[in-house]
Amino acid sequence: MRISKRLFAVTAAVTATVIGLAAAPASAATIQAGHVDILDIDYASGALTLDIKTYNPANDDLSPAGTILRLLPSSAITVPSGSAWTCLGTAGSTVYVGPQAEDTNLLWAGWNTEDVPAAQGPIKMELVSVSSVPAGGRLTLYTTNALGVPTYRLNSNTAAGCPISTWPGNISAGTHAHGNWAFSALGTYTLVFRATAQGGAGVASPAVSYTVQVG
């Protein structure tokens, strides 16, 4: 009887371990800090793909499907005053930003075309749609120069002169860079992007959905 109990205990432990291993990808699918290239564009065998690249742990082809990118409440900043910031939001309002400069406590999010041959570049990047729950949330992707002046790359803000659905000037092949990923309110966002090679045969990726949880 003692042996049977031991066997049962061992079997239960092994079963629990297997279940734990099986459940690990679900828990690992939420990324809320560290270096991540949200727009990882790859070209191979005549196809252009759009996925997520992480660095710790290293993963060059993490599918956006089932992956949640999370911005913590501590990412909140106040929109500065001045006309340069109008398309980010109303001066003094709060937005939530995955910053261009690395902050180990937040998402350090970028884009990557290092696996796109020069002959296939540059890459046209489109923001196909933005939706949020609750409704009305906006995405603004912008970079700042050494003086802190913003350049807007993509923007779902519908205010006059603000919407940018196609990346101005495209993204050169062999690029790896970071920007400020700003969200106008707490909530869950669905972002849909599409990449198209401007060189070669001009192949395009499918429209790919990303989920971002803010808060």
Which residue spans within the chain are E strands per DSSP? 30-31, 34-44, 47-55, 58-62, 68-71, 76-78, 94-98, 107-115, 123-133, 139-144, 150-155, 176-178, 180-183, 187-197, 208-214
Residue 32 pLDDT class (50, 70, 90 cuts): very high
- The 10s digit of each residue's pLDDT in 106-156 is 999 999 999 999 999 999 999 999 999 999 999 999 999 999 999 999 999
pLDDT of 195 higher than 80: yes
- The 10s digit of each residue's pLDDT in 62-81 is 999 989 999 999 999 999 99
Q: What percent of the chain has pLDDT over 70?
A: 87
Q: What percent of the chain has pLDDT over 90?
A: 83
Q: What is the dihedral of CA 25, 73, 211, 84, to 10 degrees?
A: -140
Q: For residues 90 and 110, give the distance between their C-alpha atoms in angstroms, rounded to a whole number.
A: 25
The torsion angles phi and psi of 43, rounded to 5 degrees, stand at: -130, 125
Q: Of 92, 97, 108, which is closest to residue 34 (Cα–Cα)?
A: 108
82 or 18: which leads in pLDDT? 82
Q: Of 24, 43, 30, 5, which is closest to residue 214 (Cα–Cα)?
A: 30
pLDDT of 22 higher than 50: no
Q: Of 81, 79, 73, 80, which is closest to residue 98 (Cα–Cα)?
A: 73
Q: Of 182, 41, 74, 43, which is closest to residue 52 (Cα–Cα)?
A: 41
